[in-house]
Amino acid sequence: MQIQGSGALIAGGASGLGEATTRALHAAGAHVMIADLNEEKGTALASELGTAAQFVRTDVTDADQVQDAVDAAAALPGGLKISVCCAGVGWAEKTAGKRGAHTLQPFETVIRINLIGTFNVLRLASAAMVANEPGDSGERGVCINTASIAAFDGQVGQVAYSASKGGIVGMTLPAARDLANNGIRVCTIAPGTFDTPLLAALPQENKDALGKQIPFPSRLGRPAEFAALAQHIIENEMLNGEVIRLDGALRMAPR
């Protein structure tokens, strides 16, 4: 898929991995639609990037709001050809312990935002892509989702987060197969420990300690590295139905 001149929807595109992806695709010549709950950051980023960037406030768990974002992206010059979903939240709580069972509401919330929200973006963006005129190879669009290595190496207290990300991993191949006849590719990136707003509250020494756990390079991942992989997936037509770990060979210990 050629990025130059294509329309791109980036859910969760105002900060962290999503912001880096927004910047990378914009720099590569895409017309970007930033879909995010954070109106202040989203508006500021769109204003900074200029005329080829727009912002739409979007809750990925709300089907109507996601549809509005998809419609806005489809109206961009070049049409909606690229969808990247980076929206997500975390939660730490054990399945059961001295305090009792894992509270249900946070589990449901994490599943709703991370898994159902991702599926909302995937299903509605791909439905819009079906109407695109195919390129020379028959390709109509590319959808990239964000999982986590917690889908494979979930740690103590990560049952909700790991379940949500495991669901994203699990739907990658069947979604790619569902959409193959329409010329739409689906891939998932499973990042390891990255320097994102989720870690912003940690002291630097704690961040350094987390980085040293990574075999090589022994540092936190940089959002720009996630964006670079997303860009490569978009441009590499043979990447389809694949989950790619981006983690510096990290395999997380139980704790």
Catalytic residues: 161
DSSP bridge pairs for 141: 184
A 10 A CB-CB count for 69 gives 30
CA pair distance 244, 236, nearest whole angstrom: 13
Closest CA to 50 of 68, 73, 27, 71: 27
175-178 long-range CB contacts below 8 Å, 24 or more apart? Answer: 175/122, 175/126, 175/143, 176/240, 176/241, 177/241
Q: In sequence order, what DSSP letters do the residues of 191-215 get, joined into one string?
A: E-SB-SGGGTTS-HHHHHHHHHTSS
Q: Report whether the peptide linkage leading into residue 217 is cis, meaning its omega lies within 30 degrees of zero.
A: yes
CA pair distance 52, 118, nearest whole angstrom: 24
CA pair distance 13, 48, nearest whole angstrom: 14
CA pair distance 177, 116, nearest whole angstrom: 19
CA pair distance 235, 3, nearest whole angstrom: 7
120: left (phi over 0), alpha (psi -120 to 50) or beta: alpha
